[in-house]
Structure 1
Amino acid sequence: MLKLKVTGMTCGHCEKAVEDALSGIEGVAKVIKVSRADEEVLIEGEPDARAVIDAIHEEGYEAEVA
Structure 2
Amino acid sequence: MTQTIAVEGMTCEHCEQTVEEALCGVSGVTDATADREAERASVEGDADRTELVRVVEDAGYTSHA
Partner of 1:38: 38
Q: Deviations over 1:25-56 (max 9, x none)?
A: 1010111x210000010011110111111100
Question: What pairs up with 1:38-57 in 2 under 5 angstroms?
Answer: 38-57=38-57
Partner of 2:16: 15
* TM-score, scaled to structure 2: 0.92
State the AA in 2 paired with 1:47.
A
Equivalent pairs: percent with the same residue? 34
* TM-score, scaled to structure 1: 0.91
Question: How many Å apart are 1:20 and its aligned residue?
Answer: 0.7
Gap regions ≥5 residues in structure 2: none
How much is the aligned-residue C-alpha RMSD, in angstroms? 0.8
Gap regions ≥5 residues in structure 1: none
4+ aligned runs moved over 3 Å, structure 1: none
Number of residue pairs matched by the alignment:
64
